[in-house]
Amino acid sequence: MPIFEYLCKDCGRAFEKIVPRYDSIVDCAHCNSAKVEKQLSVFAVAGSSASGATDFAAPDGSCGRCGAAQPGSCALD
Ligand SMILES: [Zn+2]
């Protein structure tokens, strides 16, 4: 079964859950809220930028993932 990462809109916390189907309804692991949003996987985001998508493009060489002005100035790099 696939594992997906979710972000709860009620408590703002992220969690991962193994679900039987891609579109399965899940509740927040922390507060049981149903208002959770499935997050794109890290691999999917990296693939989209490599294929020319502009959503995460960094026009001036900035991080692009967190909005930091310089690469390496955020925790993600
Ligand atoms: Zn929650």
Span from the CA of 27 to the centroid of ligand 1 (angstroms): 8
Look at residue 64 and tell me if it is in a domain.
no
Query: For position 46, what pLDDT does the model report?
Result: 47
Residue (of 1, 3, 10, 2) closest to 28 by Cα position:
10
- Give the single-character DSSP code of 63: -
Q: 70 to each of 2, 44, 49, how far by Cα in Å?
A: 35, 23, 18
Q: What is the mean pLDDT of residues 55-72?
A: 62
| 20 in Cβ contact with 10 (< 8 Å) | no
Look at residue 45 and tell me if it is in a domain.
no
Question: pTM of this prediction?
Answer: 0.51
Look at residue 76 and tell me if it is in a domain.
no
Look at residue 71 and tell me if it is in a domain.
no
Look at residue 65 and tell me if it is in a domain.
no
pLDDT of 70 above 80: no
Span from the CA of 50 to the centroid of ligand 1 (angstroms): 33
Look at residue 13 and tell me if it is in a domain.
yes
H helix or E strand, kind and range, residue 18: strand 14-18
| 31 in Cβ contact with 23 (< 8 Å) | no
Domains contained in the chain, number:
1
Span from the CA of 6 to the centroid of ligand 1 (angstroms): 10
Q: Which amino acid is present at 21? A: R
The residue segments making up the domain with residue 14 are 3-39
Look at residue 9 and tell me if it is in a domain.
yes
